[in-house]
Chain A
Amino acid sequence: MRLFAGRFWHEYTRMRTAIYMLIGVLGIVLIGTFVPQQFSSAQGKVTEFLGSHAALNDLATHFGLPLTSVFVSPLFYVLLGSIYIALLSCVLTRGRALVVRTVRGYPRSPQYWGEWGSWLFHTSFFLLLIAVVWGKATGFDGIMTITEGQRIAETRASYDTLQEGMLFDGHHSGYEVQLNRFAAPLQANGMPEDFVSNVTVYDGGRPVITKDVRVNDFLGYDNVDFYQQDYGWAPHIVVKNPSGEVVSDNAAQLISDDKTASTGVIKVPDFNYMLPGQSTPTQIGARLVLYPDAQALPTVGAGNALSLTYGPGGAAANNPVLEVQLFVGDLGLNSGASQDVFSLDTTGMRPYYQDAAAFALPMHQSVTLQLPAANNGTADFTIAFPDLKQFSLFHVKKDSGVPLVYATFILTMTGLLTKLYLRPFLERRRRGHRATLLPQAVATTEPEAPPLTSVREEVLTR
């Protein structure tokens, strides 16, 4: 039994086994490039793949390799783990041998330095592992949206989504970030030239930094980093109820893929108006479509009445028009179901217009609408669209492992270059080919000149 274990360990820590394990990593990673992956590919593609290859995926999942998340699959981790264990054994034995050689004062041959290089290279993978795991475990990673003019605190509640590491102490920094202005200047071809968020950080109420955050230029303060990731339109909408009270005065954040048409919702739970014959105040809500550069299309409706419908144009705010599909009733906010800020649950609501038609509301305008009032009368309320803002979507994260990752990079490169270049360089110097400026010696970029003797040496010694 001991013999078997010993043999197994010997086989397992051989470099040939390492090669097979690396080939295994290659195989898994290849699957990851060709199969759409959760979190890095579009969700639609993932769903489509799962739909058309369900049996295959079930089989693979059975073996610990769910095809749409191979990079976090059990099999991948097991393989990486076994590589690391083999690597650890290799690094420990070779490291001990090197230390012994050093202590006993054996000659410092080129081979000796090459082995130190190789040892450093392989050992740096452990530092990388520590850097990655420690950074992720003690940090967090989330998405935060801020509308122009809005100031948000860096606290758990401010995030749209947030993932905290297992060892994160739960203390967010609490400072506030205000988005002063956002701009996405467009190129002639309509593609964005840049995304720029002008933000101010307030710490303890005092402004401490004002900075333009853009792609490739993040905001870092108190170990938390804000990265410009996306942006969107946020129409400012003011709703007054029949008593003339302002019951909603907000910028609704709309989402879109190409910014020429964005969608979202507005919910007014505190509309504060009692429809005749009802015992609870009614609420209103609407689905919104925004065309920042609306193109008007005249259409002829019933009774030859000419009306305008709108469609998307460009991505700049040349002619912002909102299309509002209004609903009246119960927003369902008390049902306890989790509320999605981008969708409207209309099960307890009636469309304001019979056929659920939407009406257009150009910027700087307001519409006056009627609701039934007591004694068959009507009560007027208004929805206004005074101006259009933008919001910025930031990737916010804390990862203290990053400097260590970079340190690892330096060690890896040092080890690799020592192994691949210092050893041959020293060997050549030993052979007497001193590095001079003579043409045949300029070959520092071409180590190990090709004389057949060295080739034969290699053949014989390996």
Chain B
Amino acid sequence: MTPTPLSLSLFGIAVAFYVAALVGFLVYLPFRDRRIANTAVGLVALGWPFHLVSIVTRALEAGHWPLGNIYEYSTGISFVVATTFLVITLRAGQRLLGVPAMIVTIALMAVAYMLYVPPGDLVPALHSYWLTIHVTSMATASGLLVFSSLFAMFFLAREWADGYALATAGQPSGMRGVSAGGGGAAVMTGGGGGGGFMPGLAGAFRRLPAAATLDSWSFRFVMIGFPVWTFGVMMGAVWGEHAWGRYWGWDPKETFSFIVWVVFAIYLHARVTYGWKGRRAALITVIGFVAIFADLYAVNLWIAGLHSYARA
């Protein structure tokens, strides 16, 4: 039995804070007390330094840039997600985002823990500055693009709820009058009185920001994430040229990063194509979300390629 490395203990503390924060965000949903949400945000902010120091100590323990295997990589992406969430919340107060953002963060850290590798040396192919730039960009871009999908999912939910409210507005139920755009308060009276799952869900989703706002947030994260992803893929090509003498080889990992890239390129085109905005664009980012995680895990664990040493 080797003693638990400091990095892993800190990792555990960060996860504990994040789980507590998630519970807070979930409690906030029905009770809608600002103080609960603020406490939850505070818990994320408390866990964040542990997360950061865990990554730094891991780098010191292993003696290399801490993105050398799937444990480190998952931890890195979860850190980007947690950081981005904090920035959004502190700057723009998107508290409802806490639920999906913390679920993604905790899920990534859970996977990291399941695939834990003790700190150690890297295989020779991984000793490279180009690789460091490449994986750092890819992890950052993954974490950022996740938010475009989360906002897109919110957008889809809000759009559905708006449609639901419109459709039921004419009916003799407690939902009457909700479509007037007043937002949450009207729904609370309607949904609270009438009960039922669908009205309740629609009411909850109508507390999200307006659909157009969510759509623009989603777009904004593609705008930030897509160039970083593009840059990361290019740096991967430079690394491939340096290490193996080929900048592109349709290796499964490369192929999947290309897929993600094309998905978001399609998204950008869809946004400027008349009639593809909104729902279809949102669905594309959701596909992008699936593709990013397929790239990360499915390819590493089930499909072998030159990159598959990253499994260890």
Contacts and interface: CB of A to CB of B under 8 A. Distances in A.
Interface in B246-276: 246-247, 249-252, 255-256, 258-259, 262-263, 265-266, 269-274, 276
Interface in B223-262: 223-224, 226-227, 230-231, 234, 237-238, 241-247, 249-252, 255-256, 258-259, 262
B128 interface: yes
B57 to A, nearest CB: 22
Given A40-B305, A447-B223, A192 B124 contact: yes
B220 A215 contact: no
Contact of A420 (B226, B259, B266): B226
A30 B259 contact: yes
A448 interface: yes
B123 A191 contact: yes
Contacts of A195: 124
Interface stretch (B34-42, B66-74, B168-176, B211-219): B211-219
Contact of A15 (B123, B224, B269): B269
A260 B230 CA distance: 41
Given A420-B223, A458-B216, A19 B273 contact: yes
A216 B242 contact: yes
Nearest to A30: B259
| Most chain A CB within a 10 A radius of its CB, from B241, B249, B258, B262 | B241
Contacts of A225: 245
A459 B274 CA distance: 10
Nearest to B243: A216
A218 B263 contact: no
Interface stretch (A148-156, A357-365, A401-409): A401-409
Contacts of A229: 244
A399 B249 CA distance: 14
Contacts of B263: 26
A171 interface: no
A214 B256 CA distance: 28
A450 B276 contact: no
B243 A215 contact: yes
Contact of A215 (B127, B246, B273, B276): B127
- Size category, B interface: 35 or more
Contacts of A15: 269, 272-273
Nearest to A401: B247
Contacts of B303: 33-34
Interface string B123-152: 111011001000000000000000000000
Interface stretch (A279-287, A291-299, A320-328, A411-419): A411-419
A193 B226 CA distance: 35
A187 interface: yes
Interface in B172-231: 210, 212-213, 215-217, 220, 223-224, 226-227, 230-231
Contacts of B131: 216
Contacts of B311: none
Nearest to A193: B121
- Size category, A interface: 35 or more
A69 B65 CA distance: 36
A22 interface: yes
B227 A417 contact: yes
A402 B247 contact: yes
Given A215-B124, A420-B226, A227 B244 contact: yes
A458 to B, nearest CB: 7
A456 B226 CA distance: 24
Given A18-B269, A26-B263, A450-B213, A193 B250 contact: no
B269 A19 contact: yes
A192 B252 contact: no
A71 interface: yes
Contacts of B270: 19
B299 interface: yes
B245 A218 contact: yes
Contacts of A452: 210, 212-213
A8 B163 CA distance: 37
A33 B274 contact: no
Contacts of B123: 191-192
Given A40-B250, A191-B123, A409-B234, A462 B277 contact: yes
Contacts of A129: none
A40 B230 contact: no
A32 interface: yes
Contacts of B120: 187, 189
8 contacts: A33-B259, A40-B251, A216-B131, A395-B244, A395-B245, A409-B234, A412-B230, A445-B224
Given A16-B276, A19-B273, A29-B259, 17 more contacts: A15-B272, A30-B259, A32-B255, A33-B255, A40-B251, A40-B305, A41-B304, A41-B305, A218-B242, A229-B244, A397-B246, A406-B238, A416-B230, A446-B220, A447-B220, A452-B210, A456-B212
Interface of B: 91-92, 120-121, 123-125, 127-128, 131, 210, 212-213, 215-217, 220, 223-224, 226-227, 230-231, 234, 237-238, 241-247, 249-252, 255-256, 258-259, 262-263, 265-266, 269-274, 276-277, 299, 303-305
A-B pairs, top 6 by smallest CB distance, nearest first, are A227-B245, A215-B124, A409-B234, A216-B128, A194-B124, A71-B250
